[in-house]
Structure 1
Amino acid sequence: MTAFGSAVRHASDDLPPPPVALPPHAALFLDLDGTLAPIMPRPEQVGPDARRAALLDDLTRALDGRVAVVSGRALKDLDRILEGRVPAIAAVHGLVRRGAHGVECAKPHADLDYARGVLRDLARGDKGLLFEDKGLSVGLHYRNAPSAAEAVIEAAERLAQSSELVLQLGDMVAELRTPGQDKGKSVSAFLREAPFDGACPVFVGDDLTDEDGFAAAARLGGYGVLVGPERPTQAVYRLEDCGAVLDWLSVALGAGGAGGGRSVA
């Protein structure tokens, strides 16, 4: 293990599953893809889900509103998938945040225009690549063209080195985004406002982008839960997949472990 800020980096094969009961006065910060929903070949294939919707409703009631979704997706896309049932959202890795004071949105960086053209041209040259434009970031998905991974990552690295954009590598995607906020800073911002102020943060996610969230949760008195395969992480607990996440959250509700508030069976 190596130190990383105020958190400690663990080998995830050493990590147990999270406690059945959430901490007193807990706040949940949840990634979407790979955490609340399975990763699909194309992002638009993820849609509403009855079990997830009911569970989010129950969690929101039990935690007096202290549930936020923190994702790399755009805000409009998250509202589509979650059917608008989660008011507190950090989208595009925190560059867009909807909290107690409305929607806060960063300004797109000027370097995005050039990166947009380069990545779009790469996608046109390979039908397996999927270009995605979120306004504040642009990305190239290679899940359906894994042999193109090296070329995609190299192109994204060159763009990052020649610009002020932040390179964000995810699950079979290379993304270049406007600098500024990240998932950890979003957690900190939520905890400075109602209904999250004074809460104990629990961050649940699967991607490398979620490491900022794990570190922030640990620094602010809570913890992170890694979802998926073993890897070095700042989380202190691990669950196998999104099904295990939904099962764990359901059990936590049934155990009355929703932060000392009302429990929902």
Structure 2
Amino acid sequence: MLQLDMTGQKAPPPAGLLEGATLLLDFDGTMVELAPRPDAVLVDDRLRRLVTALGDRLDRRIAFISGRDAATLKALLGLDGIAIAGSHGLEILHASGKVDRPVRPASLDTAVKRMRAFADAHPGVLVEDKPLGAALHYRLAPQDEAASNRLAQQLAADTGLALQTGKKMVELRLGSGDKGMAVERLMADPGMVGTIPVFAGDDDTDEPGFLAARRLDGHGVLVGPERQSAARFRLPGVDAVRDWLESELAR
């Protein structure tokens, strides 16, 4: 079993890491800065140009892996021909436009109804309803963190949905997916199989993706402050990730 790296400072990714690679990218906190509301993130022209150029350089071996649903992320990016693993890998939007997605369970509608009642009583708490999950965001109401987590724990117990924590949020979703599964599913694509996965992400939810990349003889790139992680390399933030990818394009 792979172990988390608990020692030493992680180096930045070396030059040439993308040679023969498939590039897998988390979105929030990795390619765009975190925002107070999920719908307030800024996708600028620099990012669109960068993703387009990387797709050309890597022969379309590029994909996003996100907790967001795939349709929402595609709309934010405004780009075609990019594969997206949404909802923590539970759905795959292929570059061709084909979508693989399980059926939404009725228990999720029950959870959303109770989350919305809670948010109505706690100003600043936001509910993000996704096809295969629902999240409570308390970035704008930090005083409600404990209550939000208690509600999510109760809902998980009542509905059988999986509990997933993140940065200033807590989510309920189908329990069969994580970003490790997303990495494995994407790397089984005929255009990506046999290449080296390089996955960049910033959150605890990205750790299964780092582990899956390592199992496939690839690499994880942690984005943000130094911490215990399965990633081999680290970059300090979103701007550093973009700078690194632009430097790889210039090689």
With normalisation by structure 1, the TM-score equals: 0.90
8 A Cα contact 1:142 1:148, kept in partner: yes
Partner deviation per Cα, 1:198-255 (whole Å, 9 max, x = no partner) = 1100000011111111010000010101101222111111111100000011111112
**SS of equivalent to 1:120:** helix
Q: Which residue of 1 aligns with 2:225?
A: 229
* Alignment correspondent of 2:181: 185
Structure 2 distance, partners of 1:198, 1:89, is 19
The counterpart of 1:89, out of the listed 84, 90, 102, is: 84
CA apart distance, 1:48 = 2.9
Q: Which of residues 205, 209, 212 is equivalent to 1:213?
A: 209
TM-superposed CA distance for 1:12, in Å, is: 7.3
RMSD: 1.5
CA 1:44/1:23 → structure 2, altered by over 3 Å: closer, same or farther? closer
Classify the secondary structure of the residue corresponding to 1:248. Answer: helix
* CA–CA separation in structure 1 for the residues paired with 2:7 and 2:138: 26
Q: Is the 8 A contact 2:219 2:231 kept in 1?
A: yes
1:24 lines up with 2:19 in the alignment: yes
Q: Could you tell me which of 183, 187, 195 is aligned with 2:191?
A: 195
Report the Cα distance in structure 1 between the residues aligned to 2:7 and 2:179, rounded to whole angstroms.
20
1:86: how far off? Answer: 4.7
User: d(CA) in 2 for partners of 1:136 and 1:104?
Assistant: 12
Q: Secondary structure at the match of 1:17?
A: coil
Query: Which residue of 42, 55, 58 maps to 1:60?
Result: 55
Indicate the residue corresponding to 1:173 in structure 2: 169
Q: CA deviation at 1:84?
A: 2.3
Shift of 1:87: 2.2
Aligned residues: 250
Do the aligned partners of 2:48 and 2:79 also contact (CA within 8 Å) in 1?
no
Question: Is the contact made by 1:69 and 1:86 (CA closer than 8 Å) also made in structure 2?
Answer: no
Deviations 1:10-58 (A, max 9, x none): 1376211111212431001000000000001111111431111111111
Secondary structure, counterpart of 2:17 in structure 1: coil
Matched residue, 1:116:
112
Distance in 1 (CA, whole Å) between partners of 2:6 and 2:167 is 19
In the TM superposition, residue 74 of structure 1 has moved relative to its aligned partner by: 1.6
Please report how far the alpha carbon of residue 158 of structure 1 lies from its aligned counterpart in structure 2 after TM superposition: 1.9
C-alpha contact 1:13 1:231 (8 A) present in aligned 2 = no
Q: Distance in 1 between matches of 2:212 and 2:68?
A: 20
- Which piece of structure 1 moves more, 25-34 or 154-163? 154-163
Asked whether 1:104 is paired with 2:72, we answer no
Length-normalised TM-score, structure 2: 0.95
Specify the alignment match of 2:130 in structure 1.
Answer: 134
Give the letter for the 1:127 counterpart.
P
- 1:48 to 2:24 alignment: no
Contact 2:81 2:95 in 1 (8 A): no
Describe the SS at the equivalent of 1:149: helix
**In 2, Cα distance between equivalents of 1:199 and 1:152:** 41
CA contact (8 A) 1:133 1:139 kept: yes
Residue 189 of structure 1: how far off its partner (Å): 1.2
Using the TM superposition, give the Cα deviation of residue 96 of structure 1 relative to its aligned residue in structure 2, in angstroms: 1.2
Contact 1:12/1:233 (CA < 8 Å) preserved in 2?
no
The percentage of aligned residue pairs carrying the same residue is: 41
Identify which of structures 1 and 2 has the higher relative contact order when contacts are C-alpha pairs closer than 8 Å and 6+ apart.
1
Provide the rounded CA distance (Å) in 1 between the counterparts of 2:32 and 2:8. Answer: 23
* Structure 1 letter corresponding to 2:102: A
Which consecutive unaligned segments of at least 5 residues does structure 2 have? none
Unaligned runs of 5+ in 1: 256-265
